[in-house]
């Protein structure tokens, strides 16, 4: 069924959305009736190829925001966006960019991939990443380690804009949505400490980099934990 609540974007509805929000059974029915339906996973390519709704395409929300011409030329074509989060932050970003560019038939999967799984529908893996044993470090411990260890390299996986708004001193920015294309630029003779927003995405990214031969740790709780430590919370 269709709904006009804003649950799919993680906050209460105050005004009708400029796109349609659909539930998992509706999406499944749409995909069954239209084999050419464009359904976009708006996570990074690494995450998308590791696990996605069968037959869907990988197109990170950052890529859509930077270059909306990656979407089809026909602006009346049905487009569906989803991500891993029940709050659908990234799929709503993709949908918002599409609407802003003039697309008229834009949909977001309500509660994202979790809703699809809860409905009992299958997932597919294109390139499975072996899960590693990626140690995590708490913010206070990392602060001490930075002062003591010269081999550490802090790798900030957040978007360019988030990095510009504030980052740990000395951290280099390798946004996760581009990591599969430019990871080779990261020096292999350093111990990497991965940072993201809240620590949810560094495990898979760390497993990916470990698979490529890197020695990796991750910041527990991400930048949120670092900022709370810095604020004395």
Structure tokens belonging to residue 114 = 């979790």
Give pLDDT, residue 17.
86
Per-residue model confidence (pLDDT) at position 6: 42
Measured distance CA(194)–CA(175) in Å, rounded: 11
Query: Is 5 a residue whose pLDDT tops 70?
Result: no
Q: What is the pLDDT of residues 52-99, one digit of tens each?
A: 999 999 999 999 999 999 999 999 999 999 999 888 899 999 999 999
End-to-end CA distance of the chain: 43
What is the per-residue pLDDT for 3? 39
pLDDT score of 1: 36
Tokens of 204: 């898979």
52, 102 in Cβ contact below 8 A?
A: no
Structure tokens at 30: 């749409």
Percent over 90 (pLDDT), the chain: 88
Q: What angle do CA 83, 48, 178 make, to 5 degrees?
A: 100
Q: Check if the beta carbon of residue 218 is closer than 8 Å to that of residue 193.
A: yes
For every residue of 129-187, DSSP letters joined together read: PPP----EE-HHHHHHHHHH-SSEEEEE-S-HHHHHH---TT-EE--GGGHHHHGGGS-
Domains within the chain, CATH numbers bracketed = 2-118 (3.40.250.10), 136-230 (3.40.250.10)
Confidence at residue 115, expressed as pLDDT on a 0 to 100 scale: 98
Task: Examine the pLDDT at 140 and tell me if it is beyond 90.
Answer: yes
């Amino acid at each position: 069924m269709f709904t006009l609540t804003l649950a799919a974007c993680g906050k209460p509805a105050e005004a009708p959305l400029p796109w349609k929000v659909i539930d998992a059974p509706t999406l499944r029915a749409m995909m069954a009736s239209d084999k050419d339906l464009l359904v976009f996973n708006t996570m990074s390519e690494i995450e998308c190829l590791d696990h996605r709704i069968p037959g869907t395409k990988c197109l990170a929300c950052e890529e859509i925001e930077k270059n909306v011409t990656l979407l089809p030329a026909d602006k009346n074509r049905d487009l569906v966006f989803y991500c891993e989060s029940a709050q659908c932050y990234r799929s709503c970003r993709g949908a918002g960019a599409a609407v802003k560019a003039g697309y008229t038939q834009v949909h977001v999967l309500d509660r994202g991939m979790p809703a699809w799984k809860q409905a009992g529908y299958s997932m597919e893996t294109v390139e499975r990443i072996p899960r590693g044993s990626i140690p995590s470090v708490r913010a206070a411990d990392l602060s001490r380690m930075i002062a003591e260890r010269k081999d550490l390299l802090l790798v900030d996986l957040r978007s360019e804009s988030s990095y510009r708004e504030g980052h740990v001193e000395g951290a280099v920015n390798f946004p996760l949505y581009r990591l599969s294309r430019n990871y080779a630029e990261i020096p292999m003779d350093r111990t990497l400490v991965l940072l993201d927003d809240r620590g949810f995405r560094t495990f898979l990214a760390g497993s990916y980099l470990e698979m490529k031969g890197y020695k990796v740790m991750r910041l527990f709780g991400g930048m949120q934990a670092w900022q709370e430590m810095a604020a004395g919370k």
